[in-house]
Amino acid sequence: MSSNRRVAWGAAFAKARGDRMVRREIREERLRGQRCSVLDLSAWRGQSGRRYVVAVYTLAQARSEVDAPGAVLIGVRRGDDGLARIVGVGWRGTMAEAAELAAADGATEIHAHRLADSDEDREAIVEDLVGDDAL
């Protein structure tokens, strides 16, 4: 009888990969060490684990802001506890339109992610940030 334990490495690695593929919680991750006082930046972590850096605007700023064509716009409600919750995500329309729609849903901020290259990328980001729960 041998005291050596045999491990099926292939199965162990497959299980480890499967554990990493678990859907994660969608959350905001404030950027640390931000030195730019002109633009407030933050980041959102999607279900996939991807991170999306965003510019943060108040609703008043978003209503008067120049248009942001191609940006993924996130309506955010920040609670008294300081935590941000997504109330809506989209990429079609102007920032002013997004601010009006988000305000109707209780949003206090608009977050704009401007680094998507194509419509397909924008759609994937929206799906990643919406999650399994319908908004």
* Residues 56, 81: Cα–Cα separation, whole Å: 18
Q: Tell the burial category of 125 from Cβ atoms under 10 Å away from its Cβ (0-12, 13-18, 19+).
A: buried
Give the strand pairing for 72-78 and 109-113.
Answer: antiparallel
pLDDT computed for residue 134 by the predictor: 46
Residue 85: CB atoms within 10 A of its CB come to 15
Are 68 and 95 in contact by the 8 Å Cβ rule? The answer is: yes
pLDDT tens track, the chain, 135 positions: 556 555 555 555 555 555 555 557 888 887 766 555 567 899 999 999 999 999 999 999 999 876 788 899 999 999 999 899 999 999 998 999 999 999 999 999 999 999 999 999 999 999 999 976 544
Q: In the chain, what are the helix, strand and coil shares in percent, each to the nearest 5? A: 30, 25, 45
Give the strand pairing for 41-45 and 27-30.
Answer: antiparallel
pLDDT computed for residue 84 by the predictor: 93
